[in-house]
Amino acid sequence: MSTLRGASTFFGCETLNRVSFLREDVEFVKNTLTHGSTTFVPFIRGEALSSNGSLYSIKLDESQSVMKPVVNKLLPILNTSASRLRNSGVNLTFLGLKQGEDSREGVFVYRSQYKGTPYYGIDFHVDSDTLVKPSDIAPLTKMPLLDRETIFEMDNEDASIYSHAKMYLDWLSKYHFCPGCGSPIYPVDAGTKLQCSNANREVGCQVRDARVTNVYFPRTDPVVITAIASRDFSRICLARSKRKHGDTVMYSTIAGFMEPAETVENASRREIWEETGIRCEDVAMITTQPWPYPVNLMIGCLGLVDANGVNEVISLTHDEELLDAQWFSTEDVSKSLEAYDGNGMVRFKDSIRLPGSTAVAFHLIKHVCDKYKRRQASL
C-alpha cells in the first residue's frame, strides 16, 4: 500500500461538508445567508484577499462587516435573472458547513441534523451600474490581494477552501450565455448550477429541453500526470518542459489534459508516448489533487516500463513539448528527497530542481522512491 492513500494533497483537504443535496433547498440557503456565524471568503474580480499572509474571511455578524448590507441586497434576487453577474456585480457560491464546532452555542443547525458554520465564496465585480456598488465594499477593496506565493505557503485547510471557492467563482464569472439558445444564464442552487433564462417554450433550446444535460454544472478539467519508472523502480524518467520556470532548471513528471472518450490509463499512455516516445503499458492511478489554475483535477499515476531496448528509448520529436527528458537513478532522486526540508522545491544535483511537496508530482516521484527503497530492503 502506498503511504499516500488517505492523505490529502495540497488543495485537496476537504474541511467542509458540502451537503450538496441542500443547495437546491431555498429555505436552507436563505437560513445560511442570514445566520450570524456564516463565513464569507471574499474575492475581488477573481482574486482572494490576504490578511497577514492568510486567506481573509469575514463573518456575517462581525462588527463593521460589509457582508450584511450586501446579503440584504442579494436575498430578494436569488435564483432570478437579476442575480447574474452583470446585474448584481456579485457571484456567490455555497461551499459547505464547517463541522467540529457543533457543540458551540449559536452554531447553525438545519432540520436538527445538519450543523456547522456555513461557508460561502463571494466574488465582487462591482461598478456604478451593478446592484452592489463599489461603496458597499469599500473596506475590502483597500485590502491586499492574495498572491500565488502566499497561497502555497498557507496551511492546507485554508488553501483547500481557497481552491474550492476559486474554482466555482472562476466558472461563474466565465459563463454568461446558454450554449443551446444564447439566452443569458443565471446561478441557482446557491451558485453551484447555472440556468437558462429562456422561459418561452415556443423558442426551443436544445440545452434547456435536453432529457439529460450537464452543461450547466461547474466544469472540472481532468489532467493526467504520470511518474514513469522502470519495472524494478531503479530508474525514473523525468522531463524538463519548454515552459520557463524563471531561471530554474526543473525536471518533473509528464502531464497533459485528458480528452473525451479516453480512459485515465489511455490518456496517460498517450501523453507519455507523445511527449517522451516511451512506450508504457502498465499505468495505475495513485492519488489526485484539485488544482485551481483554473479548474483542473490532477490525476496522479504511476507508469511502469519494461525495458527491452525499444520501450524505454526517449524521443522528443513527436509533440516537441519538452526541452529534455532523461532516465535518472532512483537512488539519486531518493537521496535528494531525503535531504528535502519541505520548503520550496527539491534540490537535485547542482543545478536541477524537482517539484516541492505542494505539487502532486512530488508525491508521485516520492511514491517511486518509496517503492524502490522497499524493494531494495526486501532483496
Which lies closer to Zn ion via its Cβ, residue 193 or residue 373? Answer: 193
Site size for Zn ion (CB under 5 A) = 9
Q: What is the CA radius of gyration of the chain?
A: 24
- Reference 283, options 324, 224, 356; nearest CA is 224
Are the CB atoms for 39 and 119 separated by under 8 Å? yes
The residue among 144 and 182 lying less far from Zn ion, judged by its C-beta, is 182
In angstroms, give the least distance from the CB of 25 to Zn ion: 25
Closer Cβ to Zn ion, 29 or 205, answer by number: 205
Extract the C-alpha cell encoding 375. Answer: 524493494
- Residue 181 interacts with Zn ion (CB under 5 A): yes or no: yes
The reply on whether position 180 binds Zn ion by CB under 5 A is yes
Residue 178 binds Zn ion, judged by CB under 5 A: yes
349 half-sphere exposure, CB direction, 13 A CA radius: 12
**Contacts with Zn ion, 201-240, as mask; x by CB under 5 A:** ----x-xx--------------------------------
Point out which span in 142-150, 189-197, 292-300, 330-338 binds Zn ion (CB under 5 A): 189-197
Q: Which of 163, 192, 198, 357 binds Zn ion (CB under 5 A)?
A: 198
Burial (Cβ within 10 Å: 0-12, 13-18, ≥19) of residue 274: middle
Nearer to Zn ion, 26 or 210 (CB): 210
Per-residue DSSP letters for 204-233? --TTTT-SS--TTSPP-EEEEEEEEEETTS
Rule CB under 5 A: is residue 130 a binding residue for Zn ion? Answer: no
C-alpha cell at 202: 415556443
Q: How far is CA 64 from CA 136, 137, 139, 149, in A?
A: 12, 11, 9, 29
- Position 346 contacts Zn ion (CB under 5 A): no
Q: Which is nearer to Zn ion, 99 or 213 (CB)?
A: 213
Specify the stretch interacting with Zn ion by CB under 5 A; choose among 10-18, 128-136, 170-178, 319-327: 170-178
Strand, coil or helix: what is 287?
Answer: strand
H-type alpha helices, the chain: 26-33, 67-74, 85-88, 138-141, 148-151, 156-174, 264-276, 330-338, 360-378
User: Positive or negative, the Cα torsion across 171, 295, 343, 8?
Assistant: positive
Q: Which is nearer to Zn ion, 178 or 229 (CB)?
A: 178
Point out which span in 21-29, 178-186, 244-252, 368-376 binds Zn ion (CB under 5 A). Answer: 178-186
Q: Identify whether the C-beta of residue 290 lies closer than 8 Å to the C-beta of residue 11.
A: yes
Torsion of CA 334, 335, 339, 345, to 10 degrees: -60
State which of residues 29, 196, 254, 302 lies at the interface with Zn ion (CB under 5 A): 196
Query: In this chain, which stretch among 27-35, 188-196, 349-357, 365-373 interacts with Zn ion, using CB under 5 A?
Result: 188-196
Residue 193 CB, nearest distance to Zn ion (Å)? 14
Per CB under 5 A, 269 contacts Zn ion: no
Residue 234 CB, shortest distance to Zn ion, in Å, is 57
Q: Is 188 in the site for Zn ion (CB under 5 A)?
A: no
Closest approach, Cβ 174 to Zn ion, in A, equals 17
Decide whether 181 or 314 has the Cβ nearer to Zn ion: 181
Residue 312: Cβ-neighbour burial (10 angstroms; 0-12, 13-18, 19+): buried
Nearest-approach distance from CB 214 to Zn ion, in angstroms: 14
Of 186, 146, 143, which is closest to residue 163 (Cα–Cα)?
146
- Report, in Å, the least distance between residue 187 CB and Zn ion: 15
Q: In Å, what is the CA distance from 243 to each residue of 221, 249, 252, 322, 324? A: 20, 10, 12, 8, 12
In the complex, the residues that contact Zn ion under the rule CB under 5 A are 178, 180-181, 183, 196, 198, 205, 207-208
